[in-house]
């Protein structure tokens, strides 16, 4: 199973057969809560007024629930990346129906983004939700390095991390809070401590939200 997650077919089959227990059908409540927080600049009705042109990457965007929520916040540019051709096709069709001009989707293995110089230091935020737990655990350090590559100095990783016992296997593959902190500690500062957030998923495990800021080096 671990090797299968590195292949496009593994994920494409699940979208084609509509077997997506990680898909809750809406933006994760933790992201809605965070991006409406009074701790962020200038709250406006149900969303904050973002600085013009703020760029956000959603890695493993799936059917785009988190990405579309963010695209409805003023002044954000949202970029979704996913391994599955069917998922990206779904997102692009939804984009047309919603007539959104500030959201873009790419059918790509997000690890390959480091091969494209255009993405280096391009983003103000990276959104992590069900990607870290889906990849081969042997690639977690590579994933952390990818996020560092994508973010501007002081850019932020807003993550909803899936915590569950490692012995349950995966995907989703288990990880602990301590392992998450160890993964990011060299290049990021934990600016919002990991804490439990309720999310209506169907897996055994809990989700913890936290924000990590890229250090200026």
pLDDT > 90 fraction of the chain, expressed in percent and rounded? 58
Domain tally, the chain? 1
Q: Which residue has the higher pLDDT, 128 or 24?
A: 128
Q: Quick check: 200 pLDDT over 50?
A: yes
Other Cβ atoms less than 10 A from the Cβ of 4: the count is: 12
**What residue numbers bound the domain in which 120 lies?**
4-214
pLDDT tens digits for 178-198? 999 999 999 999 999 999 998
Q: Which contacts qualify for 94-101: CB closer than 8 Å, 24 or more apart?
A: 94/63, 94/64, 94/68, 95/64, 98/68, 100/68, 100/71, 100/72
Tokens 């390095």 belong to which residue? 145
Mean pLDDT of 140-159: 97
Mean pLDDT of 68-95: 92
Indicate which CATH number applies to the domain containing 77.
3.40.50.150
Mean pLDDT of 4-19: 64
Q: Is the pTM of this model over 0.75?
A: yes
pLDDT tens digits for 57-74? 999 999 999 999 999 887
| Strand boundaries in the chain, DSSP class E | 43-44, 47-48, 54-59, 76-82, 103-107, 123-129, 151-163, 188-197, 206-214
Give the closest residue to 31 by CA, choosing from 127, 106, 121.
Answer: 127
């Amino acid at each position: 199973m671990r090797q299968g997650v590195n292949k496009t077919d593994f994920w494409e089959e699940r979208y084609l057969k509509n077997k997506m227990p990680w898909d809750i059908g809406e933006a994760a409540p933790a992201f809605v809560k965070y991006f409406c927080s009074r701790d962020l600049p200038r709250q406006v009705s149900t969303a904050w007024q973002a600085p013009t042109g703020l760029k956000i990457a959603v890695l493993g965007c799936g059917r785009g629930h988190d990405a579309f929520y963010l695209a409805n916040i003023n002044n954000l540019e949202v970029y979704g990346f996913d391994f599955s051709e069917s998922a990206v096709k779904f997102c692009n069709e939804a984009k047309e129906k919603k007539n959104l001009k500030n959201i873009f989707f790419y059918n790509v293995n997000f690890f390959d983004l480091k091969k494209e110089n255009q993405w280096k230091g391009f983003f103000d935020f990276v959104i992590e939700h069900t990607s870290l737990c889906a990849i081969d655990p042997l690639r977690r350090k590579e994933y952390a390095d990818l996020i560092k590559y994508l973010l501007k100095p002081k850019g932020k990783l807003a993550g909803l991390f899936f915590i569950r016992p490692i012995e349950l296997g995966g995907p989703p593959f288990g990880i602990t809070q301590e392992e998450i902190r160890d993964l990011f500690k060299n290049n990021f500062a934990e600016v919002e401590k990991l804490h439990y957030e309720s999310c209506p998923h169907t897996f055994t495990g809990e989700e913890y939200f936290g924000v990590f800021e890229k250090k200026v080096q």
